[in-house]
Amino acid sequence: MRLLTLAWRNLWRNKNRTFITVSLIFLGVILTSLMGAMQEGSYASMVKNVVNFYSGYIQIHQEEYWEDKNINNSFVRDAKLEEKLSNIKQIKQVIPRLESFALASSGNNTKGAMIMGINPVKENNLTSIGNKITQGSYLKPEDDGVLIGYELANKLQLNTGDTLVLLGQGYHGVTAAGKYPVRGLFKQSNPNLNRRLIYLDISKAQDLYSAENMLTSLVLMVDDNKKMKEVLPILKENIKSPYSVMSWEEMFPIILQQIESDRSSALVMKGILYIVIMFGIFGTVMMMVSERKKEFGVMMAVGMQKYKLAVVVFIEMIWMGILGVLAGFVGSMPVVAYFYHNPIPLTGKGAEWMADLGFEPFMFFAWEPSVFVNQVIAILVITVFISIFPFIRILGLTEMKALKG
């Protein structure tokens, strides 16, 4: 306890030196926390784009559907299956869909389109598509109209109130044809959806494709990715043939691979940042030891044992490390919180590139305890590691050499 007290008092004998060292550690925690928050925020944004704009966390299909997205690989809506899903507490929503393709036509203009039959209320809870209407209004339950992506509408020269003709192949090869008034135009952040997606009430889609009471998927929503990993094994265990249970990671492995690849690259960048911080702290420690040589010599001359002196200096470094990481932890929270609530917008080619990939053109930040705690631990470990240097240096000092400076 006496050594702890002595080390604490020594910190304030030279406040400038203490302030410089603590400031370096403080800045190190803030910089690494910002980098970690930006990294995790970008991953969360990618997952959000996949999950909230289309796939949900988990989908249930007929076994062959994902490999062959044909309406003939749909399944009959099963009330017992949906009841079983509703009894799993982690699942917050079960959203039915009927998806297929058709030629969308207006006048002399014709384009291929993806038709998505939806429950308007449940789909809006997942994708918030009702907030993305740029013209007209959102679908009502049992609505006989359609929502169409604004780019597709421009190509077909359609406006709200105009009539859209859909022509395709229905269930078991029957002809699918129908006329529908355009209720509204939408604009998603994913340009592919704006160019080719048409929403239709699920009952009208079933009529169009002669697929009464048929679905191509049940979309399941949970709170987050952790909950998804909890509930996925339960679903795979209890839901068997002719159904297939797939997570978003299985449906879009390229996104998962991209995240894992980026994690590896970010780890290298973070390692470089840690090395820069380490050498910054190391430089101040070398200065401290050099400046205090005579002080150490005097203390040894008056009878203080070298190992106790080394321990005191080691504890001083630990005190400065603790002060620095605590200050950094407190200081990084409002900085990260600001950027979490105010993502940095991207402009120019970078924004266009992000939009083309289907992502929102913003630099997002995460607000997770691990972002702060991991950096605090890492910087503290670096500080403890550097503290070994003065400890060893003092043990190697002689009184005469130290007194000569």
The confidence score (pLDDT) of residue 357 equals 62
Distance, first Cα to last Cα, the chain: 30
Q: Supply the mean pLDDT for the chain.
A: 86
Q: Are 350 and 361 in contact (CB under 8 A)?
A: yes
Sequence-ordered list of residues with C-beta below 8 angstroms from that of 167, at least 6 positions apart, any chain: 102, 103, 105, 175, 176, 177
The confidence score (pLDDT) of residue 405 equals 55
From the list 11, 14, 164, the residue with the least C-alpha distance to 102 is 164
Sequence-ordered list of residues with C-beta below 8 angstroms from that of 187, at least 6 positions apart, any chain: 132, 134, 149, 150, 194
∠ Cα 184 131 366 (to 5°): 145
The confidence score (pLDDT) of residue 61 equals 94
More confident residue, 236 or 398: 236
The confidence score (pLDDT) of residue 134 equals 93
Residue pLDDT, tens place only, 348-386: 776 676 666 666 777 888 888 888 888 888 888 888 888
Q: Are 102 and 115 in contact (CB under 8 A)?
A: yes
Copy the structure tokens of residue 6. Answer: 């002595």
d(CA 332, CA 374): 13
The confidence score (pLDDT) of residue 355 equals 67
d(CA 126, CA 120): 10
The pLDDT confidence band at residue 282, using thresholds 50, 70 and 90, is: confident
Residue pLDDT, tens place only, 178-204: 999 999 999 987 778 888 999 999 999
Q: Return the DSSP state at 405.
A: -
Copy the structure tokens of residue 400. Answer: 């005469």
More confident residue, 278 or 201: 201
Q: Are 125 and 143 in contact (CB under 8 A)?
A: no
Residue pLDDT, tens place only, 140-170: 999 999 999 999 999 999 999 999 999 999 9
Sequence-ordered list of residues with C-beta below 8 angstroms from that of 320, at least 6 positions apart, any chain: 11, 18, 21, 22, 25, 383
∠ Cα 179 185 187 (to 5°): 140
d(CA 236, CA 88): 13
Q: Return the DSSP state at 305.
A: -
Strands 175-186, 146-149: pairing is parallel
Residue pLDDT, tens place only, 57-106: 999 999 999 988 889 999 999 888 888 888 888 899 999 999 999 999 99
More confident residue, 177 or 41: 177
What is the crossing angle of helices 306-341 and 369-395, to 10°?
160
d(CA 132, CA 55): 17
β-bridge mates for residue 215, sequence order: 75
Sequence-ordered list of residues with C-beta below 8 angstroms from that of 310, at least 6 positions apart, any chain: 390, 391, 392, 394, 395
Residue pLDDT, tens place only, 314-341: 888 888 888 888 998 999 999 989 988 8
The confidence score (pLDDT) of residue 314 equals 83
The confidence score (pLDDT) of residue 298 equals 74
Copy the structure tokens of residue 55. Answer: 């796939």
d(CA 101, CA 105): 13
d(CA 26, CA 327): 6
Average pLDDT over residues 114-128: 92
User: Does the pLDDT at position 41 exceed 90?
Assistant: no
